[in-house]
Chains A and B, each alone.
Chain A
């Protein structure tokens, strides 16, 4: 094992000599006299770290020569990616060496959006922020400070929240897309993302889950895909993809089922109908471990509607077929396969559920797993343990802090407006503009660029004008940073310390350690350090909440927890099996003499994990009122009753635009989705999608990602709109034509691609292009469909309804 590790993590001095030698040979062989010699090879090393091009959390090893990073590869022993890395991860050096990075702290002179920037020192910058915050605090308005966070990985999330806790504001607002967590909350009582043991599934039914493109962990999904296709001994898993656009995932599935946007919930219930009517459900699981399947009576003797009755009453197949556009035979066949090919698992992601009916849709899909007993079994829904980090002491806080913390949030999450939501990012612009419930004085932007990447981007732009002071931590001059008053540029992910726990998809707790692989190129600073610095500058109880010197200190401290917890550092599969078998017998061998030794090894190997998984112990998975999986969500009922605050729940439901009443509202059911634009004026649904090679909206600054093909039919360096060939014919649009895509909110011009994987009444546009800023490679390429999306969201959970806008097309 030692030998292997040495192989991967360190190149011996002999290898360095070898490199020099082979360099010479190569030079002779292929280098031309006029070809510029790159530079003389110097000392070389491979440094382990964690990728952050997406939330997947893959381990990376970076080849560093003479202090310069020259190649990123997958970290061989990281359990997520096992040495593999995707296109986006491979392109990471172009983030590090982007010539348009912000080189140091900057203050804007002149009006909002002016590009007159003045450099200042970090001390000045931190003092400036601290003074501002202290002054607001003195005015007793600490709650008017808000943080918008896009991708706060690991402890950064807790750090930012803790900062506002100590300072005195409830307004830590995350741009979360953890929609399934809410379905799990309603049915299992835990507000977290669950994992899926896909490697052992025989049937994967995915509702718009772009597993291999922009899912939670693309490389893990790729690995599983490859494994399921040709490596797994025995049964080959079947993959069925339900979605309006034939995505890459759909393309490589066994079957693609096109579905009318916003009706996935109806299909899931139609499948449930077949499974129940034919008696194909897992009777033992449903009887023993679920609640609300049959009609039931509560303590007061009142009888309530059960899931079964609802299904049989309201989800006749003809009706489901009409709603979804999926033929009856397909529904029946799919339902039977799903119930029989055990273990089967149903997944939902963005595609299916980012509609106004998203929560109920996810709930319906998640209930399919319970129906076939795929909860906490191999090949089904699993739930990993938390990474056992050292817990933080609670924030003591002063009176001001406590008072501010208890003020209502500006996004109204968890109130009667959005009863099930934790964060309602898309509500922010409206709240700011209407000062609802109060104005915002200071806004921090961490890892988010809503002026480009949020729907209603224009709303954010307008709202930003109303905020007196905006601080951005962005290392890049993106559209939102341009509107900031102060930029405190973070390091890129290859230059900073950070922990990266892997939540979704995995069965096991995994913690990757992101460490600086090269010295920071510019005068940038880890935002964690900056936050601690600001807290310390404010002083008092705010400073006291941060006992650490810097973020590296936080990390080291947190790691003490895992030092004591057992588990193992990233190791070869052979060793993993050993640890697993030992742990299953109750052994926790201490492998390191001291914490320092452990820490050094942790950093060098890139992380820690605990490969043992317990399929027993259902209680861990069901923290509901009944202690069981709840088809009938008592959590939802109690929450609604609580936030209704005395008024009838039916009235609250009406305000929330939920059509269901009484028991039906607590059961998974189909709510028709609302759309912006009338079908007669705007005949097409606009379906936006993320591409596999794009890293959300961030990839546009990386020319390697811009230049490669956009599979299956897109245009490099550009955006496009995918139209069904028959529909295009009707409009006289040919492949490659320039077309106008117009919604009630505006229009944009882009090129048409005729794609048989587009439904006749749905057009698809990729997100990520159309930047107005963000560096030379990104600026002015293609169009940003977010520009013409309307502002709609799920009523209960506040999910952004990305797909709620209708459009019309015309030849430009």
Chain B
């Protein structure tokens, strides 16, 4: 079912004309049906979350839940948007995610720049090594980190959670940034250097502006990873809560509506950022890894 084979009329040539046309029609209908199935399967869970978050209890808390909304209400959203519940978790989530993104780029960018100027084999070896650190389960890394942070008084602090979120984030940020710096031709840099910019000047005035889009993608990636994280937060935040912890807390208590509303709230920023990033996700970061 490859593009080329299907678009090639030669592939169907040996058959008679009407037969081939019929086959093509059947294939086209099959294709559309399949696409429809995927679209529905993808959107349904999200629609259900939205639906639950705006449904009155009698539509959900019943043995035979209806598929449509009969009694809509904004009661759950009103309860959620109460500053007393929302302010703390939202502040932690925002601060930690932003801090993780900034620190992640600051720590990874210099290293990524150096790696990007290394010979090819070194480059891929180092990147692979970085990604292999991700093989050890998070739940196993988070535990000793939590024990150490407890001693250092970093549990339940935004700084502690930022430092922990950098563990799963840094390798990917470095990976994206190496790809970004690789794209900047050495000649551009050398020309700037010869023009009397100096090493630091070249970096600040020439390399960084050219790398800005890649840096933005890496930062947003780190932001999302931190915003979504449950593992490290669950180990390090015992008193305070982040938004994912709130979602988990309500699901664990079986609060159907709070879970759905928090889940939707958690998703909105991520959805916005991901849609904005879609172009870049395809172009650079993922494909670079395979094609090498």
A and B bound?
no
Interface positions of A (Cβ within 8 A of B):
none
